[in-house]
Amino acid sequence: MEPILNTADMQPWLTDFASQHTNEKVGLRVFGKDGGGAARPTVLYFHGGLFNCGSVEDAAGLARALANEAVTVCVDYPLAPRLHFPATVELAFEALLWTAAHASGLGADAARIVVAGDQAGGNLAAVVAMMARDRGLGMGPVKLQGQVLISPMLDPQQATQSMQKAGDCPCRKAWSDYLPCASDAMHPYAAPITSRRLGGLAPALIVSAELDPLRDEAEQYAAKLIAAGVPVQMRRLQGAQGRLVQPEHPNFDQVVQIVGQFVADPA
């Protein structure tokens, strides 16, 4: 990508919306906001962490890097156990509705919205894609065009081989905080990998990393989406450890390129 903006120095436009599920305001950071010119694709981004940790600041590097190509709305969602399932996913869906309603004012295109996230945020992006299908968001001028899941947390059972090799992973505590009701661990809006109804979802880009404990569940979910007829691009980055969306990560530029290409053309 040829840089047009000085993205390293770019400051987000700060705004918020009032959530009906928390009775408080939810902060949003918008990168690439432009009131003029042709409308660009819209990315609604849920930051990483493990449901009970992480910050909207963690999304800034990727959002800045995409600012020439898309308007990126980063959601400062409350963490568990302060907020947990199902209120968290309802709040995430509210963020999608807000983004669709305000897209034109951001210089964004409501007909080209991509939901995205990493780790716990990848879970929320996958779930919002399900909710958009189930609640008919694709009807009319508003359309969910794609979903980007980067090392997503999708399996509360943590039964995959890559997760078992991780030993005492902090994901266990995170899932416990996020799902205080154990029976929710089988709900598809909490654990997308358990869903038996994946047809009709938006095209997906799923990025995993060879040395990431979350690798297997990401790739298993990709296989299930493909089996359900969903267009999927699956990318495994070799030898990668750590947070792929952090600018200091050696694979960061590759992630930006992969995500940018998908946002421009999810088909």
Cβ–Cβ < 8 Å for 70, 1: no
| 159 CB neighbour count, 10 Å cutoff | 11
Amino acid 9: pLDDT: 52
Amino acid 5: pLDDT: 43
Interatomic CA distance for residues 150 and 215, integer angstroms: 10
The DSSP 8-state label assigned to residue 245 in this structure reads T
Domain boundaries, the chain: 7-264
- Beta-bridge partner residues of 239: none
pTM: 0.94
| 110 CB neighbour count, 10 Å cutoff | 18
180 cis-preceded (ω within 30 degrees of 0): no
Alpha carbon distances (Å) from 190 to 8, 21, 85: 35, 17, 7
Interatomic CA distance for residues 193 and 214, integer angstroms: 12
Beta strands, E only, the chain: 13-18, 25-31, 40-46, 71-76, 108-118, 144-150, 204-209, 232-237
Cβ–Cβ < 8 Å for 209, 217: no
Rounded to 10 degrees, the C-alpha dihedral 85/184/127/99 comes to -20
- For domain 7-264, give the fold: Rossmann fold (3.40.50)
Q: What is the DSSP string of 40-92?
A: EEEEEEE--S-SSS--GGGGHHHHHHTTTT-EEEEEEPPPTTTS-TTHHHHHH
Tell me the per-residue pLDDT of 241-266, one tens digit each, with 9 for 90 and over. 778 999 999 999 999 999 999 999 99
Alpha-carbon torsion (208, 99, 189, 132), positive or negative: negative
Tell me the per-residue pLDDT of 144-187, one tens digit each, with 9 for 90 and over. 999 999 999 999 999 899 988 877 678 889 999 999 999 999 99
| 97 CB neighbour count, 10 Å cutoff | 14
pLDDT band at 8 (very low <50, low <70, confident <90, very high): very low
Interatomic CA distance for residues 267 and 263, integer angstroms: 9
pLDDT: which is higher, 194 or 159: 194
Q: What is the mean pLDDT of residues 98-114?
A: 93
